């Protein structure tokens, strides 16, 4: 990797914040942070500056339009909501036609760049759930990268390897692979989390706290490290305890939404068990 890599972070949300913090902690130069919100841009830039004790590092905060964003960065990382990604890329392209730009979205292809004629592009997708409040251990994160040009793929790989040894390539011939990873992640992260939201709701309506269930949740996930999920399954659905299932559905009377989810997941557990 070239000695001084100048990176511009477009976005100051959860993914942008975590990536930028990690890059700076690895000694890389995140020279500018742009956000549509001035407060977010200044907050992240200040956080990055504060994380480096000496004054060899500076970071500019930029917002609103892209006029002030430098045109000579080695890498523009666009970490914004999927819904506005196309608009942001279109604006950023003007005046930076030959710059390397990547997005961080597991579900989007490189066509958001190539469709507007931006050819040096790629994806830098950390398959992880981020919060601004929690520092993620990047050495355990799986990073999936993709680039339209071979030289850029090498640069992204070197960058990714600074963060983790779990780097996966997704070549342009197999963009469906990354989308499939993202779909699987929706089940294993978002839907898994939602099961806990519902569980919390059921407990709180009886004045109980979800913390009582945390050891159970921890053990359930610890088992996934040593057993396939299907083999690890326990509970009334896989045991075929129809009386318990009926009682649970009766307890959810008045919550048609939860009854439907309970029935559908119970049936699915039983269908998978028969395979």
183 binds a second copy per the rule CB under 8 A: yes
The interface with a second copy within residues 211-230 (CB under 8 A) comprises 212-230
- The answer for residues whose C-beta is within 8 angstroms of residue 158's C-beta and 6 or more apart is 1
Is residue 3 at the binding interface for a second copy, with CB under 8 A as the rule?
A: no
User: Which pair of structure tokens corresponds to residue 221?
Assistant: 């996930």
- The dihedral through the CA atoms of 127, 183, 17, 197 has a sign that is negative
CB of 158 vs a second copy, minimal distance in Å: 21
What would the x/- binding string for a second copy be over residues 8 to 37, using CB under 8 A?
Answer: ------x-----------------------
Burial 125-146 (b: 16+ CB within 10 A, else e): bbbbebebeeebebeebbbbbb
Rank residues 1 and 195 by Cβ distance to a second copy and give the closer one. 195
| Residue 116 in the binding site for a second copy (CB under 8 A) | no
- State both tokens at 147: 């680039």
Q: Which is nearer to a second copy, 38 or 180 (CB)?
A: 180
Site for a second copy in 44-103 (CB under 8 A): 81-83
Cβ atoms 155, 148 nearer than 8 A: no
Site for a second copy in 158-177 (CB under 8 A): 166, 168, 176-177
Is 193 near a second copy (CB under 8 A)?
yes
C-beta separation of 19 from 104 below 8 A: yes
> Residue 154, interface with a second copy (CB under 8 A)?
no
- Alpha helices for the chain (secondary structure H): 14-25, 38-51, 82-93, 111-114, 150-163, 175-185, 192-204, 214-224, 229-232, 236-239, 242-251, 256-274
Judged by CB under 8 A, the stretch of 63-71, 111-119, 139-147, 153-161 that binds a second copy is 139-147
Nearest to a second copy of 28, 237 (CB atom): 237
When the beta carbons of 81 and 149 are compared against a second copy, the nearer one is 81
Q: Is there binding between residue 260 and a second copy (CB under 8 A)?
A: yes
């Amino acid at each position: 990797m070239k000695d001084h890599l100048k990176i511009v972070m477009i976005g100051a949300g959860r993914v942008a914040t975590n990536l930028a913090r990690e890059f700076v902690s690895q000694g890389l130069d995140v020279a500018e942070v742009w956000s549509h919100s001035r407060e977010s841009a200044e907050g992240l830039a200040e956080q990055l500056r504060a994380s480096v004790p000496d004054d060899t590092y500076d970071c500019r905060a930029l917002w609103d339009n892209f006029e002030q964003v430098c045109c000579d960065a080695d890498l523009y990382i666009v970490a914004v909501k999927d819904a506005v990604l196309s608009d942001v890329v279109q604006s950023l392209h003007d005046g930076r036609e030959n710059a390397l730009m990547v997005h961080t979205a597991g579900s989007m292809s490189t066509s958001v760049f190539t469709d507007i004629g931006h050819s040096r592009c790629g994806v830098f997708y950390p398959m992880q759930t981020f919060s601004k409040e929690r520092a993620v251990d990047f050495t355990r994160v799986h990073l999936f990268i993709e680039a339209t040009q071979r030289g850029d793929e090498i640069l992204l790989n070197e960058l990714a390897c600074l963060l983790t040894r779990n780097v996966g390539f997704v070549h342009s011939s197999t963009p469906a692979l990354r989308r499939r990873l993202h779909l699987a992640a929706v089940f294993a992260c978002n839907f898994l989390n939602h099961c806990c939201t519902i569980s919390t709701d059921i407990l709180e309506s009886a004045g109980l706290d979800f913390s009582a269930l945390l050891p159970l949740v921890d053990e359930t996930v610890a088992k996934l490290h040593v057993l396939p999920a299907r083999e690890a399954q326990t509970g009334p659905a896989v045991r075929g305890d129809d009386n318990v299932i009926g009682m649970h559905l009766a307890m959810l009377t008045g919550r048609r939404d939860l009854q439907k989810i309970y029935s559908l997941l119970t049936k699915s557990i039983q269908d998978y068990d028969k395979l």
